Chains A and B, each alone.
Chain A
Amino acid sequence: MAENIVLDPVTRIEGHLRVEAVVENGKITDAWATGTLYRGVETILKGRKPEDAFYVTQRICGVCPTSHGHASSMAVESAYGIKIPNGARLVRNIYESAENLHSHILWFYILAALDYVNPAKALSADIGDTVDLAKAAGTGISDFAAVQERVGDLVKGGDLSVFSNGWWGLNPITDAEKIDAELYNPDMPAELHLIGVAHYLEALEMQAEAARVMAILGGKFPHGMTSVAGGTAFVPDSLKLDDILYRLKRVVAWINNTMIPDVLAIAPFYTAALEFGGGCGKFLSFGLFNDTDLDMHNRFFPAGYIDVANGLKVDPVDTDKIKEDVKHAWYTSPSGLHPQHGQTQAISRWDDSTFDLDGQYTWGKAPRYDDKPAEVGPLSRMLVGYLSPGADPAIKGTIDYALDALGITDPTLLVSLLGRVAARVLEAKVMGDQVINYVVELVEAINSGDAQTFQEYVDHDGEGAGFWEAPRGALAHFVNVENGRIANYNVVTPSTWDMSPRDDNGVRGPMEEALVGTPIADVERPIMAARIARSFDP
């Protein structure tokens, strides 16, 4: 018998998302992802100065504003024919790394972890055993007793604050056994839950520390001020670089000594998630962290496209193959346009039939690469890096280390829910180690006189595009400049790729496809659907 599930709002994400699915015989057989918010940034930007887009487009996403700012400035630089100087390149690489470290920590611990770690079960952990377990797992030793007391206070007081109603209609104390069996894994010891909760609290400080690096570089986070077209308004000096390096090293040490071992300790209890949630099997990355030639295929995380159906190999990205379908979205503008000339015209009236899963059902467009959906994000970046012969060996090395630690021999199992979660955490380690290199490189560049931070320019009309990566995946801004003003602006965000609706051919988007086949034990408590949705950090 088919049953429906509706998850609205999907919480612990940025933005507004609704997920609907059909469940038959304990598995999802069809799914729809609905973006429920329209703001119209592209329309607002028309007629404005191209340089202003840097400030406005950051406000699309308060979690990844740095990436939007960078992509916007790159689009304008591309239209003006500017090549940013070496100092600006390195400052932006450090800035973007800090955002990724911030975002990966925040996503794993604050947004995703509560689907795998139960704060209520942490209350029954033995403190001595918790310390022993943390030692054995090689993860950080926290004041576990204090954390347990803090959570205990909350539960005793009866006001659960942000944990309220968090057990899908069950009572965290009286239904503890059912929760453990159906929502989590009864084999996962209470001590590991307590470790997870303790490090959830530490993560709050660590994501803030990474954000402080961005604040030094851009004045504040979110919504920094310096990565303007032409380079950066930030002037690196010894005082600030010292501060940046110290804070980055603190964050990197925590990632290596706490975050990575935590994931390797928790993952064995969720290996069932290697069997589903893989999605469309096509992966796209625009590449992240520029080398001196600013070529997307020569970036630290190289640009590339993988269609798993064609074997584990990477093809170069041809940006002409991108288009956006809108047949199933609430727009009246033409479908199938390349985003350089994209249009965004919202529907003009709403009635009871407007929200129609067989017709139009979302504000999200459906970006397609080579006419097919493509997943973007850390899993895509890591897979492209893993399979690109020229990529930094740290990417392959880190994945192989984790596969070995988890006893997984087939790397294609990474194309799964657990693989997507693990890839993001592992990427934090790769990026953390690399950002230290960028700081060192910047110091050397300053010493050798090759650290110019801004390239003066003359603006002129033309078309430009900035292809970059936000922490959650491939991001592109497109600008057409006429008479010194923006004639057309278009943004294709990672969430647009991943939570895209069906395209004009009726093919599901990556998240929709990942939901299909996902086991749902109880339609009243679709935690597994929430895990899938959050694994994309939509």
Chain B
Amino acid sequence: MTNKGTSFYERLEARGVSRRDFLKFCGATATMLGLSSSAAPMIGAKIAGAADEGGLYPALWLHGGACTGCTESIAQATYPNVADIVLDFLNLVGQETIQMSAGVQTLEGNEEFAEEHAGKYILIIEGTVITGLDGNMLRVGGHPFIEELENFASKAAVVIALGSCAVDGGWVVAYPNPAKGTGVGPYLKSKGVATPVVNLPGCPMNPEELVSVVVEALLLADRDSDGVPVLGPIVNRLDANGRPKWLYGSTIHDNCPRRGHFENGEFVYEFGSDEEAMGYCLYPVGCKGPQTYRRCPMIRWNSSVSWCVDSGGPCIGCANWNWVDQNAPFRGRFRRVGAGVLGSGGVDPAIAAAAIGGIAGAALIAHGFGMKAAKRIGSNATLKTEECKEWETKHAKKGGAA
């Protein structure tokens, strides 16, 4: 399973990517992994070495109840071609949206692949696990998708739950959860499948997040005597919710470029306003940045050209657990710290984490509005200033945070 004909750098250059571009990419990866950018050459050497020695790493990508947005997202990866190349390290036999085969050849190909690479391949799942009508609300190849999921997950080395839908069911499990959706982790746990699951919540997943996990899990990992990456290190770097710590350790609000306006009490109260043109803070129009753990302001989107808040759109908290019920109404200011309707049932530690984020957000906004009320001089500012009250009266119905 190697492409030993040419060296990694030769292949890279054949694809129109200079060594310099590649190191730039490694620098970005280093930053994302929380390392100094001076680690870039080390990462580059590791990737090149792994590529020349290990070749393509076996991977299978299956679609649950998906909108294909995470596939679309990965097609938009940063730095022309480079992230694609890192993914090219994957021998991605199954990927329904781009694979050449169809029908019975797809199904048999996946089976043969899983037998050949049993215990060694990475399984990527996009979309909700649909359990409605005993799983018949999503059938693939004439069978419930949940059977396919259990089969391929139990033979995989690691499962990546890609995007909010795969993590906990995403928008599909919003009340009343008509398709009885759930996440890959909870579903596999209920079936006693022990394969570790890496959660990458967000709607959609940001391609840089997946690339970062692939680099971390496969290319920076030590290999055993068969050349198979030892996946221990990445599993040890997940938080209590199965998310890579380096990607979900801070809130949107922590790193938001509009944070200064928040501190100054400079807010957008209506789209199309002068305040919006000035790029003020979007909290009053519903921004969920304070309670959403993700690194969008730093990683940004689509080759870093923008991200939600930069375009004028308030964060809707798409990386939160059960994010629609947690955060809707999206344009309402988030004043209630509630658990919403749970998709998977029971008490999920993630809900507690999200709730804590909400409390932190409430405290922060008290601070921000206080700053405005006090014209940035008072230390005893309170939330209910006349100006805030006036705004809340005016927007009470539209905000809708009952």
Name A residues whose Cβ lies closer than 8 Å to a Cβ of B. 6-16, 18, 36-41, 43-44, 48-49, 51-52, 55-56, 59-63, 65, 106, 110-111, 114, 119, 143, 146, 149-150, 152-154, 156-169, 204-205, 207-208, 211-212, 214-226, 228, 230-235, 237, 243, 346-350, 354, 363, 452-456, 459, 484, 526, 530
Contact = CB atoms under 8 A, between A and B. Distances in A.
A219 B56 contact: no
Consensus secondary structure, chain A interface: loop
A153 B65 contact: no
22 contacts: A6-B103, A14-B68, A39-B128, A44-B171, A44-B174, A49-B332, A56-B171, A111-B97, A146-B15, A157-B3, A165-B93, A165-B101, A205-B80, A212-B303, A220-B204, A223-B69, A231-B271, A452-B272, A453-B271, A454-B273, A484-B397, A484-B400
Contact of A459 (B1, B3, B398): B398
B3 A9 contact: no
B107 to A, nearest CB: 8
Contacts of B73: 62, 222
Contacts of B178: 38-40, 43-44, 346
A150 B71 CA distance: 23
Interface string B138-166: 11111000000000000000000000000
A48 B328 contact: yes
A37 B68 contact: no
B102 interface: yes
A38 to B, nearest CB: 4
Given A219-B309, A223-B203, 19 more contacts: A8-B140, A43-B178, A49-B330, A55-B316, A153-B11, A157-B3, A161-B56, A168-B101, A169-B105, A211-B72, A211-B302, A215-B311, A216-B305, A226-B313, A233-B271, A234-B312, A349-B133, A350-B134, A453-B271
> Which of A9, A38, A216, A530 has the most chain B CB atoms closer than 10 A to its own CB?
A9
A211 B75 CA distance: 10
B100 A219 contact: no
Contact of A62 (B55, B68, B306, B318): B68
A157 B4 contact: yes
Contacts of B181: 39
List the 9 shortest-distance A-B pairs measured between CB atoms, nearest first.
A62-B69, A225-B313, A454-B272, A166-B100, A40-B178, A215-B302, A220-B301, A219-B308, A219-B311
Contact of A235 (B98, B276, B324, B329): B276
Contacts of B172: 39-40, 44
Nearest to B181: A39
Interface of B: 1-6, 11, 14-16, 55-56, 63, 65-73, 75-77, 80-81, 84, 88, 90-93, 95-109, 113, 128, 130, 132-134, 136-142, 170-172, 174-179, 181, 203-204, 270-273, 276-277, 285, 301-303, 305-314, 316, 318, 324, 328-332, 397-398, 400
Contacts of B55: 157, 159
B61 to A, nearest CB: 9
A134 B220 CA distance: 42
A67 to B, nearest CB: 13
Contacts of A110: 75, 98
Given A14-B68, A60-B67, A36 B138 contact: yes
A51 B329 contact: yes
Contact of A219 (B81, B98, B313): B313
Contacts of B104: 6
Given A51-B331, A55-B330, A234-B312, A44 B324 contact: yes
Contact of B330 (A51, A146, A354, A452): A51
A233 B311 contact: yes
> Which of B109, B137, B332 has the most chain A CB atoms closer than 10 A to its own CB?
B137
Nearest to B94: A164
Contact of B102 (A9, A63, A106, A208): A9
Given A16-B138, A222-B73, A224-B311, A156 B5 contact: yes
B14 A350 contact: no
Contacts of B2: 157
Contacts of B330: 49, 51-52, 55
A363 B92 CA distance: 29
Contact of B96 (A11, A40, A234, A349): A11
B162 to A, nearest CB: 12
B200 to A, nearest CB: 15
A208 B301 CA distance: 11
Contacts of B133: 346-350
Contact of A9 (B1, B103, B170): B103
B91 to A, nearest CB: 4
A222 B133 CA distance: 30
> Which of A6, A7, A14, A40 has the most chain B CB atoms closer than 10 A to its own CB?
A40
A484 to B, nearest CB: 7
Given A225-B313, A453-B271, A233 B72 contact: no
B137 A59 contact: no
A332 to B, nearest CB: 13
Contact of A208 (B6, B93, B204, B302): B302
A347 B133 CA distance: 9
Contacts, number: 323
A352 to B, nearest CB: 11
A39 B179 CA distance: 5
B14 A146 contact: yes
B98 A44 contact: no
B68 A164 contact: no
A165 B106 contact: yes
Contacts of A228: 271, 313, 331
A55 B315 CA distance: 11
Nearest to A164: B93
Contact of B101 (A49, A106, A164, A484): A164
B139 A36 contact: yes
B103 A161 contact: no
Contacts of A153: 3, 5-6, 11
B102 A150 contact: no
A106 B72 CA distance: 10
A162 B81 contact: no
Contacts of A9: 96, 102-103, 106-107, 140-141
Contacts of A169: 105
A423 to B, nearest CB: 22
A272 to B, nearest CB: 21
Contacts of A459: 397-398
A111 B401 CA distance: 43
Contacts of A456: 270, 272
> Which of A11, A60, A152, A228 has the most chain B CB atoms closer than 10 A to its own CB?
A11
A346 B75 contact: no
Given A9-B103, A40-B178, A208-B76, A221 B329 contact: no
A245 B234 CA distance: 42
Contact of A216 (B97, B203, B306): B306
B84 A204 contact: yes
Contacts of B303: 208, 212
A221 B69 CA distance: 9
A149 B10 CA distance: 11
B96 to A, nearest CB: 5
Nearest to B134: A350
B305 A215 contact: yes
B88 A161 contact: yes
B271 A158 contact: no
Contacts of B15: 146, 150
B179 A162 contact: no
B98 A12 contact: yes
Contacts of A59: 67, 69, 170-171, 203
Contacts of A215: 76, 301-302, 305-306, 311
Contacts of A530: 102-103
Contacts of A218: 311, 313
A224 B313 contact: yes
Given A38-B138, A52-B328, A221 B76 contact: yes
B76 A164 contact: no
Contacts of B397: 459, 484
